[in-house]
Amino acid sequence: MGFITVNPATGRQINSYPAMSREQALLLAGKSYQVFLKWRFTGFEQRAGLVNSIASILEDRRENYARLITREMGKPLAASRAEIDKCALLCRFYAEQAESYLAEEHVRTEYAQSFTTYNPLGPVLAVMPWNFPFWQVMRFAVPALMAGNTCLLKHAGNVSGCALEIHKLFEDAGFPEDVFNTLLIGHDLVNELIQDPHVQAVTLTGSTAAGSAVAAQAGRMLKKTVLELGGSDAYIVLEDADIPEAAKTCASGRLMNNGQSCIAAKRLIIVREVMHEFMEHFLREMKQVCYSDPMQEDCLLGPMARDDLRSELHSQVQRSIKAGACLEIGGFIPDEPGFWYPPTVISQVVPGMAAFDEELFGPAAAVICAEDELEAVELANNSIYGLGSAVFTSDIERGIRIASTRLEAGSCFVNTKVQSDPRLPFGGIKQSGYGRELSYPGIREFVNIKTVCVK
């Protein structure tokens, strides 16, 4: 078995890669544990120097990495460059902050000394997706390594070129051999690695079904997991919002990364009073974006990453229309090479339709009507997912109240689109997963929070 990478803009094969054998994968898991026994005792200064070296290499090779991302998964080249920039920012952030985030915390008690330490666990297995091929990996690996863990990466097969370049990146930055390893393996070996006694923890970013399977296996082995899964982010537009700006932000939030982001704007819940005005502006924004060659500097929307993903999205759109939704624009598969799908808007979406109940992972937006704020919040929360959400209103205090206390999601934004930031915790609730990445909660996920008391 092997892996084939395909250019989504043409449908043509880029490269093929042989898969690792079971024996090779398990051998690397063992080596990861052996090097961990030494790596765990390196100082923060040494780790920070290596992580800063990663940042420098990312900046030096920015164009090469960006073009590889675009070739393998199809996002616009400008977005690929931005992904590399964000990875470099993440590296420098944790290089500076990790030591303070993991510093001993002393507590006054009846003991002569009592304090908490944060000790690394060991090799962390990561099952990562294709939609942000570098960012998703760096988001888990950098804090894990700064905490003293070692890393095993099982990346998505359609970005195998990126996976191997990331492996080389860590080598070139000067990390000791086997501190970071890329495993070109299929899903059939993930369970074996979870069971391997050398692997101490597992993190996955992907579908809810994949997360559930990994969590079940890790649970049987009593191993810590962090899961960042699907999302069907609700963007609420209230009657007092700046409608043109809200429509522009919703369109941008829906089409970012070719619509293939867990935190993309997916369910747009509009108060009836401003529905007509919103639709005029929103449809104008969506119609202005045409798909084009993602290697072109002015491209705003590239192809979907794989043909099967496009077929699934189209099925969801068509099933919703058959159930009573109204197709406003798009909703067809172009008759040309590549995995293109046009900006698509379906309105009159209600619970029970695929566009409401399921995650639309592509450039298709579901517009939902609410009578008032109360119903809008109820509709937003009426989902198995809880990753991100947003609310648009001119009353900032109203927006803060809704975002902070009423919306059921891990990240809630007011008057802007949801996005991740190294300085802020990121993750979801409900079937969007559990645990947090980024900021100080992210680096504390894969550590032993140890209490030490001295008489």
Catalytic residue positions? Answer: 228, 262
* DSSP bridge pairs for 271: 370
| Amino acid type, 375 | E
Q: Which of 259, 269, 213 is nearest to 407 (CA)?
A: 269
Q: Which of 256, 236, 261, 255 is nearest to 246 (CA)?
A: 236
Quick count: other Cβ atoms within 10 Å of Cβ 421?
Answer: 14
Backbone torsion region of residue 330, taken as left when φ is above 0, otherwise alpha when ψ lies between -120 and 50, otherwise beta: left
454 φ, ψ to 5°?
A: -125, 125
CB 266 within 8 A of CB 257: no
Instruction: Please state, in angstroms and as integers, the Cα–Cα distance from residue 71 to each residue in 77, 80, 84, 353, following that order.
Output: 9, 10, 15, 34
Q: What is the DSSP letter of 419?
A: -
Instruction: Tally the C-alpha atoms within 13 A of residue 274's C-alpha that lie toward its C-beta.
Output: 23
Rg (CA), the chain: 23
CB 212 within 8 A of CB 433: no
CB 9 within 8 A of CB 152: no
Quick count: other Cβ atoms within 10 Å of Cβ 37?
Answer: 10
- Give me the helices (H) in 323-447, please: 354-357, 373-381, 396-401, 439-443
The whole-angstrom separation of Cα 119 and Cα 50 is 19
The whole-angstrom separation of Cα 338 and Cα 233 is 28
DSSP 86-105: HHHHHHHHHHHHHHHHT--E
SS (H, E, C) 240-276: CCCHHHHHHHHHHHHHHHHHCCCCCCCEEEEEHHHHH
